[in-house]
Structure 1
Amino acid sequence: MESTGGEEARPALLPPPVQELARVQGATDGVPSRYVAREAGHDDDDPKATVAAPIPVIDLGRLCRPGGGCADDEAAKLRLALQSWGLFLVANHGIEASLMAAVMDASSEFFRQPLHEKQKHSNMIDGKRFQFEGYGNDVEVVSEDQILDWSDRLYLKVEPQTEKNLALWPTCLR
């Protein structure tokens, strides 16, 4: 968090990267409880209370098609996906398969690197302040009991070129 009104900046709480947790814990220990989302009103110890549903798929071809009810129906699906999940899969986006494969290969190369190499591109400034761009967790962690996403991510700005921070870009993605 940044300093406000004379207060000193408080370092963000840094959970270990998920890849490291998975490596250390192994498959038999399961996912730590702070990474398990629960439905409201359910006992935290009830494993059946875990939210499980298919990720919504949005068809950009239908969404962008003028006229008819297809675009309206797809827009309603998009709105619901954003309200309930906060994310969605995209179908019929028009990106060439070869480009998608190249991006997946480069991403895999980055995430296979040792932790100390990935952390060179951290989303933490001086280990204290969270920024969206870079390698790390999805959100700033503000409390020890905050539910976290079971993911590590690399978020990089591509456009506009003037906002592209190449210092955070791994060599395999430049």
Structure 2
Amino acid sequence: MVRTTVQELAAAVEEPPRQYVVAHEQDQGLLAADEMPEPIPLIDLSRLTTAAAADEADKLRAALQTWGLFMVTNHGIEESLMDAMMSASREFFRQPSEEKQKCSNLIDGGGKHSEVEGYGNDEVVNQAEGLSWNDRLHLRVEPEDERNFTKWPAHPKSFRMCFLSTHQEPRE
């Protein structure tokens, strides 16, 4: 069974296939972002190295326990680098399927086994649950000795440069 990418599905249908739609009784009371009772927690990383570190650490702990996620400010990553990463990522996902499949996370030719790293979609654990309507590219950047450049895109050319701009260039 070869997996179909989200882009291939989306090009062929006007609405998501039934297996990608979560039935109302299955949604377990999940709220949309605009229905949330409070804003997503905002963590200031620069405060973690100041006298206010304990307060910010408590805020971080609470965010992880209640939300499971948080937004970060003052992380030190230049906006130009973030823009370059977003641009390279968009360019990667706009490529034809054949090009993206060169970075596939599938281990065997049959498409039944995959690994986390590489390009692909989420595995189906339970057919009764709604499937995730996404494709993703998961890559390890750190630690450097665990990078698997066979899963890194060769195109767009800017991809490796911007994601490794603060690191050593890949050796192949």
In the alignment, is residue 35 of structure 1 matched against residue 20 of structure 2? yes
Q: Which runs of 5+ in 2 are unaligned?
A: 161-172
| Contact map agreement 1:123 1:131 (CA 8 A) in 2 | yes
Aligned to 2:168: none
Aligned to 1:8: none
Aligned to 1:52: 32
Give me the whole-angstrom Cα distance separating, in 1, the residues matched to 2:124 and 2:2: 7
Aligned to 2:123: 140
- Cα 1:37–1:92, aligned 2, differ >3 Å: closer, same or farther? farther
Give 4+ residue runs of structure 1 displaced > 6 Å after superposition: none
Aligned to 1:129: 113
Give me the whole-angstrom Cα distance separating, in 1, the residues matched to 2:51 and 2:2: 46
Q: Which runs of 5+ in 1 are unaligned?
A: 1-12
Q: Which amino acid aligns with 2:117?
A: E
Counterparts of residues 46-85 of structure 1 (less than 5 Å): 51-54=31-34, 56-61=40-45, 64=48, 65-67=50-52, 69-82=55-68
Give me the whole-angstrom Cα distance separating, in 2, the residues matched to 1:104 and 1:117: 19
Deviation at residue 90 of structure 1 after TM alignment: 3.1
Give identity over the alignment, percent.
Answer: 46
Deviation at residue 59 of structure 1 after TM alignment: 1.8
- Cα 1:130–1:60, aligned 2, differ >3 Å: closer, same or farther? farther
SS at match of 2:129: coil
**CA shift digits 1:100-141 (9 cap, x unpaired):** 01111111111110011111111111123110000011x322
Counterparts of residues 1-174 of structure 1 (less than 5 Å): 15-26=3-14, 29=15, 31-37=16-22, 43=25, 51-54=31-34, 56-61=40-45, 64=48, 65-67=50-52, 69-82=55-68, 87-126=69-108, 127-137=111-121, 139-171=122-154, 172=156, 173-174=159-160
Give me the whole-angstrom Cα distance separating, in 2, the residues matched to 1:15 and 1:148: 13
Give me the whole-angstrom Cα distance separating, in 2, the residues matched to 1:43 and 1:16: 27
Deviation at residue 70 of structure 1 after TM alignment: 4.1
Aligned residue pairs, count: 148
User: TM-score, with normalisation over the residues of structure 2?
Assistant: 0.70
- Cα 1:147–1:88, aligned 2, differ >3 Å: closer, same or farther? farther
- Cα 1:69–1:162, aligned 2, differ >3 Å: closer, same or farther? closer
